[in-house]
Every structure is written in C-alpha cells, then in structure tokens.
A and B are shown apart, each in its own frame.
Chain A
C-alpha cells in the first residue's frame, strides 16, 4: 500500500517535472539606429513588452511544455544588406525560427526575397510596401495594411467632404506613399474631383516653402500631405506661415509630441490624419490604454502610434504556435497563422477576413480612421469607409 502510494507520488512529481519550462528564442530585425529608428525602435520594444507579458502569464503552451520567450533583436539600420545579414544570423547562428519586427520597406523587401526558402516564419510590422504580401510567400504575414488600402478609403472620405481640387505634397519617391496617392486619386476622380499637382519632398528636407508657395499659387480647395512625420510637421507649420488656409489632410502618423516640437498646437489645429486606426490615447480601446500605460512604464517614453503592429504580431505568433501544437514545424505554424482568429490581446482594430486575422496573402486589415487635431490632441472622429474583403480579393490578383 505504502509502496504504491509512494510510487504514485514519485510518478506524479516525475510527470510534473517533465512539464518543464523551456525557452523559445524569437528574433527581431528592425531599425534600431538611423532614420528608421523612429519606427523600428518602438516596434522592438513592443515585442519585448509582449514577450514579457506572455512569460508572466505562463508562456506559450505547447503540449505539456511552457515556452518562455527570449527576444534576440538585431539592428538592420533600415538597410537591405544589414537586414539580410541580421536575419541570416538569426536563422543560421542563433537557431531562431520566428522573426518579427520589420518596420521599413526596403530592408523588409530584401528579407522577403529569400525567406521562402528558409525554415522560418517572418512576421512583418510597419513596412508598408504593397508587394511584400503579393508574392504568395507562405511563411510571411503582415499586420500593417498596404498603403493603397487606406488611400482609397481616404479618397472617398475627402471626396465626400466636397473637395474637387486637391494639391498633393508627398514623399513620392517612396513606393507605398505614391501608391496611397494613386488610390486616393482614383476615388477622388470617381466623385468628379482631381489632383491639381503632385509636389515631392524627401526624408531629410525641412524647408518645403518652395513647394507650398507653388501650391498656394494654384489655389486648391484642400491639400494632402503624405509622408514621414518629421518633415511633414514642417509642412503643416509652413503652410500656415505662408497663409494657406484650406483644409489640410494627411497620411503621416505621428504622436502629438512629434508635431508640437515643430509647430504650435494652433498651427496644427484642424489638420486631419487619414490612416489605419493606430494607437492614440484618446481613441484607444481598453487594450490600447493598457498598452500605452505599460509601455510608458517599461520604457519611460510613450509608445509610437505604429508600434502595436509588432505587439500584435507577437500575440498572433503565440496563438498560432499553440494552435499548431509545435514550435519546431515552421510550416505548420505558418499555416496556423493564416487560420487563427484575431487574438484577444491585440491593440489595433482588425477587420477579419472570413473570420480570420490574416487573409490568404498573409495580410491583416485594420480599420481606417479619420483623426483630427483638436486642441493639442489627435482625436478620432470617424471610421473611413474601408472594404477589407474587397481589397483582399484585389490583392490576390496582383503578382507584384
């Protein structure tokens, strides 16, 4: 009797010991330094935050084992060669199979061109170049929607406001910004409007008064600013300084602080931002507010509006691994990713396609929103008319 009880007791403790804590290394390739760091560094922090939270609640459960996440992050400096090096190092040297992050399109494109042949899963965040999800790469997913998906919704919105002559000032040498403008134009033209000019600016430009002077002379009834937040803030200020007082619409993203260090709140008053419903404190869901608070506490600075793309992708990975029941079989996990529903912990507001978070291209869709600067804050005003299902079908028809 005692022997059996003892044996049973030993068997039970032995069984419990087998359900051990294991570690799963996950990798992040992102711009930690350089011009892309405004996007890449917050993304990396967001992954670390998500990993910490997941570990605190027991890790990822696969069968009997709990996997604690260990994040290995490398700086790709938003440079394609560095990104390839970083990812190859993660895969070859560090034995990592799951790679997150990817803020910047050029670097991401380089990795996407070979990831298909690797035993890995690539989860893309902020990189907005459309072709990343048109090439039918089975082990790649992306949380951020392509820019033209948002551009079309924005075009419809601006047309509904009654504008017929819109002047565009954009970072047009960058593919996804140009594609936003193209999609915008299509919707605007459907409503009988037109784009009266397309002026350009670059990432390092800070003086757009020549372009704005030209636009002022054309007397548009609205202007659209499409591009990086740092120069864009100057555009909004210089527009006011030049006496332009037509409504200003934009696709720039950016926290309140990034704008107020350049322009006064009065100069920003009334500016619209037509973008995916990214994180702003006033528009956020419960998850969003919690994320904002936790991130600020952990890193001493508020999270950037686009950082949740990688926070969410970490939770998506967790759900996919648990659904597939394996950490070794990357093909199974990649398939599972395309089957899972939107996880509960995500911050962005996704529009599921067929009840799933990612469509058959591996693309997720957030809702698009119209935000307006009111009294020093970005305020969510309304949803932009977006059709994720239709766009998903459209995306599937593309080859590049």
Chain B
C-alpha cells in the first residue's frame, strides 16, 4: 500500500519536472534548475554516506572536481567522445575514492569528517598547483557539449540540457532507491544506528562503509562531469570545502536518510542564495543561522516534516 503511494508520489513529481520548462518563461530559472538537478545527483550520493550510513563526509565537492576534470582532460588528451568520458568519469572518481576512503574509514565520527575535509583540501590544492595537468586557477575552457552543431539535439539550448540532466538525475535517484531498499541499504542503516552491534553479528562493516563511500563518490563524479559539459568551463574554485558544505546542507535540510530529501535539499541549496541576494553581506550569517536552526529544530529535514504531517493526517482519518 505504502509502496504504491510512494510510486504515485514520485511519478507525479517526475511529471512535474518534465513540464517545468514549459511553465517557466524566464530562461534564467531553467539555468538554475539545471544546476539544481546536477546537485540532486551529488546530494543523493552524499545522502548514502551521510544520511544512511551516518558518516558525515566533507569531500563531495572534491569528488565532483575529480569527475569534472577527468571528463574534460580525457576529452582533450585522448580525443574521446563526450558520452564516453561522462561514463568514465565516475569510475576515475571511484579510484580516488578507494584511495581516500580506505584510510578515512578507519576512524569514525568527527575524525572521519575532518580527514575527509583534509582530502578535499588536498584535492583543491593539487588542482590549483598542478598547472601542467589542470591549468591551475585559470581553469579549462571550451569543454564541448555532448553534441556538436549538427547533432540530433541542439545542445546550446538550455532546455535540451535540462531534459538530459533530468533523465540522469531520475535514473540516479532510482539507483539510490534501489541500493537503499536492498540488503546493503539495511546494513548501512544498521551501521548508522549501532556499528559495534553490526560487527558483533559477524558482518564486515568496513566493506559496506567503503561501498557507500565509493558509490557516493561516483555519484559526485557523475555530477561533476555533467556540470563540466554544461558550463564549458571549470576551475578549482568551485570544488572546494564551501561546496562540500552545500552538499551536507542539502541532505540535512531536505531530509537525511530519505530519497526525496536530497531532491528537495538540492533545489534549496541552489535557489536559496538567489532569494538571499537582497542581503548579500548578511547571506553568510543567514545561511549559517538556517543551518543551526534546521539542525536543532528540524533534524529530519523538510522531507521529515512532510512525512510527519502526512502521518498526522492519516492518524485523524
């Protein structure tokens, strides 16, 4: 019963997203929606390691960076077509995630968070300084769109890109849902609730933690690759700690440990700065305040509140 209701809900949401560009008249907001959908992918990944497994990682933007630079550089140096580099990018990211995940997952809680933050800083510093490979702060320009001028679709048109990202975001959300509902997902939740107990029952928790970490990194790598081909320009600035904090915020605000949460959170994270523009200097204070208040008063995020409201309604009838 509940499952049917969930399917209907997501189906309606999908229809809503499909119709969205037709309803928006100002192109600028479609641009923001494209960015938000890219963030949905990254946030779904973050949710796997933070919301379900209970390990706050502060390196998601760093992995997005690896994905973005992989796709751009593979295209430039090996002359590979865009669709191929976009598919390969998450796997390159997975490789780096294995390297960073293995030492990081040996520690828990705050230590884990700080170590992942350290890795994000290392990634950022390397991207900035390894000029020969990454062109440093100047960044990489002219990253091609998925199709040239005579391709099937007009890739210069923002709407086209919107539907492209929508399809991928929907697929990745579906994938996240699959993982979460599988046995793996249940074990991840168990790890979050009581890791020692999981070990006592004879399950090798570290394998599952590593799986969650690497998978979440792959989500990020994919998001980064799509971003690169959308903006046609990348540089290290946008893959730093501040953006990793955005990923965390998206999961918290949207609803930790839910599938709808990251979707809500991603849109929140992209659109809120737009509406806070009136108070540019206060933006930082407000943002921080929102984070603090949300954690204290709505720890289950917007999705959690929505769920509570629906429960209450059902309780009454």
Contacts and interface: CB of A to CB of B under 8 A. Distances in A.
Q: Give chain B's interface secondary structure class.
A: helix
Interface string A281-322: 000000000000000000000000000000000000000000
A304 to B, nearest CB: 19
B35 interface: yes
The 4 A-B residue pairs with the shortest CB-CB distance, nearest first, are A92-B28, A175-B138, A113-B233, A92-B27
Interface in B209-236: 231-235
B137 A174 contact: yes
Given A106-B139, A113-B231, A173-B129, 16 more contacts: A33-B283, A33-B284, A80-B233, A80-B234, A84-B233, A91-B28, A92-B28, A106-B138, A109-B138, A109-B141, A110-B231, A112-B141, A114-B233, A129-B138, A175-B135, A175-B137
Contact of A81 (B27, B35, B129, B284): B35
Contacts of B238: 79-81
22 contacts: A33-B280, A33-B283, A80-B233, A80-B234, A80-B237, A84-B231, A84-B233, A85-B31, A91-B28, A93-B29, A109-B139, A109-B141, A109-B235, A110-B231, A113-B232, A114-B233, A129-B138, A131-B138, A174-B137, A175-B136, A175-B137, A175-B138
B138 A105 contact: yes
A117 B155 CA distance: 13
Given A88-B28, A106-B235, A110-B235, A131 B137 contact: no
B293 interface: no
Contacts of A85: 31-32, 35, 274
Interface of B: 26-29, 31-32, 35, 128-129, 131, 135-139, 141-142, 156, 231-235, 237-238, 274, 277, 280-281, 283-284
A106 B137 CA distance: 6
Interface of A: 32-33, 74-75, 78-81, 84-85, 88-89, 91-93, 105-106, 109-110, 112-114, 117, 129, 131, 135, 173-176, 178
Contacts, number: 83
Contacts of A79: 237-238
B26 A93 contact: yes
Given A92-B28, A117-B156, A173-B129, A74 B139 contact: no
A113 B140 CA distance: 10
Contacts of A80: 139, 231, 233-235, 237-238
B237 A89 contact: no
Nearest to A89: B28
Contacts of B231: 80-81, 84, 110, 113-114
A360 to B, nearest CB: 20
Contacts of B29: 93
Contacts of B277: 74-75
A117 to B, nearest CB: 6
Nearest to B143: A113
B123 to A, nearest CB: 14
A113 B141 contact: yes
Nearest to B242: A79
Nearest to A79: B237
A174 B284 CA distance: 26
A32 B280 contact: yes
A207 to B, nearest CB: 17
A393 B281 CA distance: 43
A66 B32 CA distance: 35
B29 to A, nearest CB: 8
A110 B31 contact: no
Contacts of A91: 28
A109 B280 contact: no
B27 A106 contact: no
Contacts of B281: 33
Contacts of A129: 138
A127 to B, nearest CB: 11
Contacts of B28: 88-89, 91-93
